[in-house]
Structure 1
């Protein structure tokens, strides 16, 4: 790995920042935690990053063994970037940052870009202990899905889950997601206030109906 700027401090936090402390690096990790992405997809979902900056950061992250680049099989015939195991291990770091930053969201600024899957990491914390299974979440801005509970760590992905495997489907809005993430509201409160509608035939959807009653949408 070529030498880059370093804090030159014998400290675990400083060593970590040597690798992920540059501008855009952790946001690229956020995007790739949702699954392998083409360069053009990454650029589209990172508004404000220049093509040179993104290419440079991806090259640095490959050198640090955070990401790999591979060619998709035909008929796609495109290259995608995906996280290595070490890259995926940054999810708890992103979760801690999202928890710390949630109170600062307030109302979106006129210049703020919004993507639905950016609410996935904050919602992992908000829904843990409330649900277990695959949850599809639909906002006006798009869809994402969460895998919570079970044997593995929690995960999220952009778009709906494959083969319609969701155990429950939550329809809500970005303001409610923000309230759930910051702790201003619980899932139960949001459902009872009509800010979250739950559908689906899976066990989880049934459990939510039983728990929260007839306000849920069948």
Structure 2
């Protein structure tokens, strides 16, 4: 099926030709956390049908946003991952998240939650500290890690490349308030609501804003 187009000579319209369909940017959000199997994507995108997910992934391959490859044995499973062009959508998602934070309100009973969905505001605020490194985040819903500096990025689960520069631990209530932009990450550290451990520059920068700093 040929790609639908707004047929407008405008960069925003061209971008929406590629990522404006329902679910596409949320698939990008998931793949920014690293290569994912189809079944994992489906599990972390509650509400998407299998047909819709398959269609959107094919569209993203066609448009140069994602690729599909087979893992070596013994896994031998197929995974989807973003191309360099797809990864450049990270600041787009961060801006959308910042703009939409006020729309969150309190959690609804039907709202799905995944720990790594909080990576976007956490990464944005950590980048403002002027330091680089890896930060591991632990909260009630699970763990994720963010890479600060360079292209930046995030991943689901704990960091596996050695000791992170900092570890942050906080509860679901604090996480929700950060997601809604009601409290900043450094503000929550200063209030003693976030435990910071580690010896890296990012940990030190965060502790400088902690209780008694």
Instruction: Provide the alpha-carbon RMSD of the alignment.
Output: 1.9
State the distance in 2 between where 1:75 and 1:134 align: 29
Residue 174 of structure 2 aligns with which residue? 176
State the distance in 2 between where 1:76 and 1:161 align: 21
The answer to whether 1:26 aligns with 2:25 is: yes
Residue 48 of structure 2 aligns with which residue? 49
- Larger mean CA deviation between 69-78 and 198-207 belongs to 198-207
Unpaired runs of 5+ residues, structure 2, are none
**TM-score of the superposed pair, with normalisation by structure 1:** 0.89
- Give the paired residue count: 212
> SS in structure 2 opposite 1:166?
coil
The answer as to whether partners of 1:125 and 1:181 remain within 8 angstroms in 2 is no
Residue 142 of structure 2 aligns with which residue? 142
> SS in structure 1 opposite 2:34?
coil
State the distance in 2 between where 1:87 and 1:186 align: 28
State the distance in 2 between where 1:142 and 1:154 align: 21
The CA deviation at 1:190 is 1.0
The answer as to whether partners of 1:38 and 1:80 remain within 8 angstroms in 2 is yes
**TM-score of the superposed pair, with normalisation by structure 2:** 0.91
Residue 193 of structure 1 aligns with which residue? 191
State the distance in 2 between where 1:209 and 1:109 align: 33
The CA deviation at 1:211 is 4.8
The CA deviation at 1:201 is 3.9
The CA deviation at 1:177 is 2.9
State the distance in 2 between where 1:162 and 1:214 align: 32
Q: Deviations over 1:157-201 (max 9, x none)?
A: 111111333111000134323433444323333123231111224
- Larger mean CA deviation between 174-183 and 128-137 belongs to 174-183
> SS in structure 2 opposite 1:162?
coil
The answer as to whether partners of 1:126 and 1:183 remain within 8 angstroms in 2 is no
State the distance in 2 between where 1:182 and 1:26 align: 19
> SS in structure 2 opposite 1:147?
strand
